[in-house]
């Protein structure tokens, strides 16, 4: 059977490739094997690192948490009586004073009821005076005088009741703040307990956040605090509350900082970074680049111990500055590894050189 030219070409190519590998194994395999069997260089010396002597310093420490602004009080202002809204003199979002009318209900027959009660009280007063005169002349028994006085007291109570009912048509702001949301418009009918709107108090302003359990013991009521808002604005205030019981889910403690906000320009709900004074303590200024993680995932630094070996110390960042990080967790002057710290292990012997 005669092969086709295409098949003959393929067979020829395969034969050439096979011949190439045979020749290579005969003439080059021994040299390659010799090269691979060539002994490597002897063991290298200990790795070299560069260190920087970092002194211990006394520094005012801070606890930094993420928080948000919050109104000191938020109250839904409700109607105490029934009626149709006759006036809504305050626009939502307007700053108001304590006692300012937010919604006014229709007076209806309340004024007439008050006038009637006052007339009845006037009649009861005249009746009591007449009984006093007759009693002085001996024409009235003491019990009749007491009965007239009781009628006068009841009439006066009815007047007071009518006055309160008339005053309740004015739904007023319970404190100075912002009328944030309107819930009733002119013409709406309000039953007792239905809302006119929502008031929020923004002066003073609160910043609330959650403190880790490792930091809670450093904080106390009255300590100074500063907050930097997302806009870059800085505010100063003091701690007014630190929870004594941790959140069972997050194991954090609720914190409240109160700050003055006289113009009420700062709104509720803004994100803020809160720096709380936590007293003075020992700290070290280290470069950001010197931080490493150990096998357990802890953040720390590596340094040269007294025996000349590498050691690891877990640290906590107390403050970030342009010069570096102020950290706690180290003691005394430290020969901090600033070059090569990621390529050495704890307990390893190294060559030490001063950082340039």
Tell me the per-residue pLDDT of 192-206, one tens digit each, with 9 for 90 and over: 999 999 999 999 999
What's the pLDDT at 120?
93
Q: Helices marked H in 63-201 — which ranges?
A: 110-136, 142-167
pLDDT(240) > 90:
yes
> Does residue 61 or residue 305 have the better pLDDT?
305
What's the pLDDT at 39?
35
In the predicted model, what is the mean pLDDT of residues 249-266?
93
- What does the angle CA 74 – CA 75 – CA 80 come to, to the nearest 5 degrees? 175
> Does residue 53 or residue 31 have the better pLDDT?
53
Neighbour count for residue 76 (Cβ, 10 Å): 12
Residue 66: closest CA among 317, 277, 273, 255: 273
The 10s digit of each residue's pLDDT in 273-308 is 998 887 778 899 999 999 999 988 899 999 999 898
Percent of the residues in the chain that have a pLDDT greater than 70, as a whole number: 90
Return the structure tokens found at 195. 């809302």
For the entire predicted model, the pTM comes to 0.64
Residue 157: closest CA among 117, 130, 129: 117
> Does residue 6 or residue 103 have the better pLDDT?
103
Q: How many whole angstroms separate alpha carbon 77 and alpha carbon 164?
A: 17
In the predicted model, what is the mean pLDDT of residues 322-334?
91
> Is the separation of the CB atoms in 236 and 194 below 8 Å?
no
Q: List, in sequence order, every residue forming a beta bridge with 68; answer none if it has no partner.
A: 208, 271
CB burial class (10 A; 0-12, 13-18, 19+) of residue 296? exposed
Q: How many whole angstroms separate alpha carbon 138 and alpha carbon 134?
A: 6
Q: C-alpha 110: how far from its chain's center?
A: 48
Neighbour count for residue 345 (Cβ, 10 Å): 13
DSSP conformational letter for 349: B
What's the pLDDT at 59?
86
> Is the separation of the CB atoms in 354 and 50 below 8 Å?
yes
Give residue 110's pLDDT band: very low, low, confident or very high (50, 70, 90): very high
Fold observed for domain 49-60+282-354: 2.40.420
CATH code of 64-71+201-279, in short, is 2.40.30.170
- The reply to whether domains 49-60+282-354 and 64-71+201-279 share a CATH topology is no
Percent of the residues in the chain that have a pLDDT greater than 90, as a whole number: 65
What's the pLDDT at 37?
33
Return the structure tokens found at 36. 């691979």
What's the pLDDT at 4?
60
Domain boundaries, the chain: 49-60+282-354, 64-71+201-279, 77-196
> Is the separation of the CB atoms in 145 and 135 below 8 Å?
yes
Residue 254: closest CA among 60, 71, 68, 73: 68
What's the pLDDT at 175?
94
């Amino acid at each position: 059977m005669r092969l086709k030219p295409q098949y003959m070409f393929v067979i020829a190519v395969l034969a050439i490739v096979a011949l190439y590998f045979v020749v290579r194994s005969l003439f080059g395999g021994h040299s390659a094997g010799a090269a691979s069997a060539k002994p490597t260089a002897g063991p290298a010396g200990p790795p070299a690192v560069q260190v920087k002597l970092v002194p211990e310093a006394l520094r005012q420490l801070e606890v930094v948490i993420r928080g948000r602004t919050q109104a000191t009080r938020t109250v839904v202002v409700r109607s105490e009586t029934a009626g149709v809204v006759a006036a809504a003199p305050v626009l939502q979002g307007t700053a108001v004073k304590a006692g300012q009318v937010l919604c006014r209900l229709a007076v209806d027959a309340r004024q007439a009821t008050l006038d009637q009660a006052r007339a009845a009280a006037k009649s009861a007063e005249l009746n009591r005076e007449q009984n006093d005169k007759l009693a002085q002349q001996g024409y009235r028994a003491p019990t009749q005088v007491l009965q007239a006085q009781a009628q006068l007291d009841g009439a006066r109570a009815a007047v007071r009741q009518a006055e309160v009912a008339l005053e309740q048509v004015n739904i007023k702001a319970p404190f100075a703040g912002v009328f944030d949301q309107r819930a009733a418009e002119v013409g709406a009918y309000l039953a007792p307990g239905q809302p006119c709107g929502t008031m929020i108090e923004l002066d003073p302003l609160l910043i609330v956040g959650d403190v880790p359990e490792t930091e809670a013991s450093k904080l106390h009521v009255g300590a100074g605090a500063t907050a930097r808002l997302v806009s870059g604005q800085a505010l100063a205030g003091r701690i007014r509350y630190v929870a004594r019981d941790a959140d069972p889910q997050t194991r954090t403690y609720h914190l409240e900082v109160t700050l003055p906000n006289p113009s009420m320009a700062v709104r509720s709900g803004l994100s803020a970074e809160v720096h709380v004074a936590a007293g003075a303590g020992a700290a070290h200024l280290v470069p950001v680049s010197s931080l490493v993680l150990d096998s357990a995932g802890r953040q720390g630094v590596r340094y040269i111990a007294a025996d000349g070996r590498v050691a690891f110390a877990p640290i906590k960042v107390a403050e970030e500055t342009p010069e570096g990080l102020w950290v706690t967790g180290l003691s005394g002057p430290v020969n901090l590894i600033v070059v090569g710290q990621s390529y050495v292990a704890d307990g390893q012997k190294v060559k030490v050189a001063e950082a340039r």
